[in-house]
Structure 1
Amino acid sequence: MDIADLRDRILKQDRRALARAITLVESARADHRAHAGELLESLRGNGKQALRIGLSGTPGVGKSTFIESFGMMLTAKGLKVAVLAVDPSSARSGGSILGDKTRMERLSRDPNAFIRPSPSQSHLGGVARRTREAVALCEAFGFDVVLIETVGVGQSETVVAEMSDLFLLLLAPAGGDELQGVKRGIMEMADIILVNKADGELKSTAMRTCADYAGALRLLRKRPQDPEGFPKAMTVSALQEDGLEKSWDEMTALTEWRRESGHWDMRRSAQADYWFHEEVRQGVLALLENGDVKAAIDQLGARVSAGEVTPSAAADRVLGMLDLKTG
């Protein structure tokens, strides 16, 4: 594989080269990982810093409709938009539908937009493990905005927050009950809460829901990365394309404040450190899949099940095999 040629084509905004590069970074093959690392290193410092926007919400809240309407609005302003949509993978077959392009038909035909669905595979959190690297490729390509759509709510918010500059939470009117278990954690991470489907008969309900969340946000402890008035709740209608301009103005204002106050650079640095540690953790876990180590784990697992050895003692033996146990 000619990495230098692939790099040059990406910098020249060759969309096929970008698609091929994302396929490369998503691969788990050892030789592909080596090529991906070489490509990413060669692209470091090129391109621009895109505005990374993470988006999550419960299934059926209208994430795809919102992304299409929002993306079309941004491209109409002359901005180049990339959408990285993560689809859930089947625990049984490992397959994914990857139907985001069919749900965003208008945006998929827009020359200033790029949509890439990816399988979540077995990665917790609804964000593909290599989504972060795909974001870096999109920045090198020259996109102005990168939208990262997660599978749903829960663990995914923690992951997407570590690769985005703004985190949006999309909610449906009067849809509070299914969020009770995770609402506090999600709201503490959200920069802007958007109550979608604020149209027709649901408009008044959406307004009440928005007011409820606005009140709840005021009870949260103020974060250092927020100016006065943030985080905030707003209503939008992706179907009628109402409220999109106002929400973009708020995103822009928040981004500019964070740049001027230094929080943007601090956050990007902290994210780089987070992903360094995450790569180390993932590398250690990969060592456990080594043939000899895996066989030993299986044998020790059988002995633990039979009560012949304690789980702690068995774990110490495995760590000793990896030479990671220091004391």
Structure 2
Amino acid sequence: MIHAAAPLPSLEELVEGVRAGRRATLARAITLVESRKPEHRALAEELVQALLPATGKAIRVGITGVPGVGKSTTIDALGTHLLERGHRVAVLAVDPSSSRTGGSILGDKTRMARLSMDDRAFVRPSPAAGTLGGVAARTRETLLLCEAAGYDVVLVETVGVGQSETAVADMTDTFLVLMLPGAGDELQGIKKGIIELADILAVNKADGPNAPRAKKAAADYRAALHLLGGREPHWSTPVLTYSGLTGEGIEELWGQVVLHRERAEQAGALAARRSTQQVKWMWALFDDRLRGRLHADPSLRTELPAIERAVANGTLEPTSGASRLAALLGL
């Protein structure tokens, strides 16, 4: 038996349900903004616009780190710490690379056992496929919906590699980079650019026999950051040690997040940062729509494989290929 799809709630129902903090309505609203159907996109735009007055008050924290650094354990420990202090926490992921799993949070929910079982927390993976710009744009909209639903701390985890770190830094107030102890290979393969994005650097697994190595690694990173210079005139990137497993150092870690926000507000940097992020968000959406039109329009879509094949086999230069794509769009 084929069941008819459930009708979309009205704009008024969605706005009222999100503002009331109803998790089921929030989940439906997020599914709506992730949809690529034209009728859904139109309603999603109206929804985000209607909820804008209720957004902007949350603390937005981006979190990244090398594989195995313990991002999920850290988020679970940090989120639980915040819940105990009366906050409501949303956890989002940016992962343009995973078309099957939808991001590591789907697999890591078992490692966020405390958060995922608490009604005061909301854990949501990113859209599973698409361009980085499109995924990041949807995550920004999801972030705003969570703020409108009353979550006053939003943790955005970058799951992919490369540009996804920059995307997360461009949608959050504080960018936290997690590192491992025993960093003998100088920054453990993390690019210098990612270190330069860090507002806070934190060495995880500083417990038991790892504690001395964590302190040594922290000292090395402080020296490296000193050579790189400060990212912002009002802030010098601190390097902390902590244990996501035992929770030791988590309170100090959060204290630095709060301090960074306070300093940024006092310097006027927070408002400036968010204004810049809004413009980047607009361009990410625009770029995503251009690509979407190429793939959605039947007359354009038939031309794409031939152009891609010609570029792939070297009979057409990428520059010429791009020009042909632009011509198809009338640009």
Fold shared, TM-score > 0.5 on shorter chain = yes
Distance 1:192 1:307 in 2: 45
Secondary structure of 1:250's aligned partner: helix
Distance 2:148 2:226 in 1: 38
Distance 1:310 1:223 in 2: 38
- Structure 1 equivalent of residue 282 of structure 2: 276
Distance 2:266 2:108 in 1: 35
Provide, for residues 42-87 of structure 1, a one-character-per-residue CA deviation record: whole Å limited to 9, x for no partner. 1111245100000001121111111111111111111111111345
- 1:101 counterpart (102, 105, 109): 109
Provide, for residues 177-221 of structure 1, a one-character-per-residue CA deviation record: whole Å limited to 9, x for no partner. 385554311110000011000001111111100110011111113
Q: List runs of 5+ in structure 2 lacking aligned partners.
A: 1-7
- Structure 2 equivalent of residue 184 of structure 1: 192
Residue 56 of structure 2 contacts residue 144 of structure 2 at CA under 8 Å; is this kept in 1?
Answer: no
Matches within 5 A, 1:188-267: 188-224=196-232, 226-227=234-235, 230-267=236-273
- Structure 2 equivalent of residue 121 of structure 1: 129
- The change in CA–CA distance for 1:221 and 1:178 in structure 2 (over 3 A counts) is closer
- The change in CA–CA distance for 1:297 and 1:111 in structure 2 (over 3 A counts) is closer
Provide, for residues 126-155 of structure 1, a one-character-per-residue CA deviation record: whole Å limited to 9, x for no partner. 965411110000111111100001114422
Residues 1:15 and 2:23 are matched in the alignment: yes
Q: CA deviation at 1:124?
A: 3.5
Provide, for residues 253-272 of structure 1, a one-character-per-residue CA deviation record: whole Å limited to 9, x for no partner. 11111111100000000000
Residue 71 of structure 2 contacts residue 178 of structure 2 at CA under 8 Å; is this kept in 1?
Answer: yes
Secondary structure of 1:167's aligned partner: strand
The amino acid that maps onto 2:259 is A
- 2:38 counterpart (17, 21, 30): 30
The amino acid that maps onto 2:244 is A
Provide, for residues 159-186 of structure 1, a one-character-per-residue CA deviation record: whole Å limited to 9, x for no partner. 0011000000011112453855543111
- Structure 1 equivalent of residue 326 of structure 2: 319
Distance 2:322 2:302 in 1: 14
Residues 1:46 and 2:46 are matched in the alignment: no
Q: List runs of 5+ in structure 1 lacking aligned partners.
A: none
Percent identical = 46
TM-score (normalizing by structure 2):
0.88
Distance 1:164 1:305 in 2: 37
- Structure 2 equivalent of residue 286 of structure 1: 292
- The change in CA–CA distance for 1:153 and 1:311 in structure 2 (over 3 A counts) is closer
- The change in CA–CA distance for 1:176 and 1:40 in structure 2 (over 3 A counts) is farther
TM-score (normalizing by structure 1):
0.89
Residues 1:151 and 2:159 are matched in the alignment: yes
- Structure 2 equivalent of residue 296 of structure 1: 303
Distance 1:302 1:87 in 2: 27
Judge which range, 164-173 or 243-252, deviates more. Answer: 243-252
- The change in CA–CA distance for 1:149 and 1:190 in structure 2 (over 3 A counts) is same
- The change in CA–CA distance for 1:39 and 1:72 in structure 2 (over 3 A counts) is same
The amino acid that maps onto 2:67 is P
- The change in CA–CA distance for 1:221 and 1:16 in structure 2 (over 3 A counts) is same
Looking at secondary structure, tell me which structure has more helix per residue.
2
Q: Over the residues paired in the alignment, what is the CA RMSD in angstroms?
A: 2.5
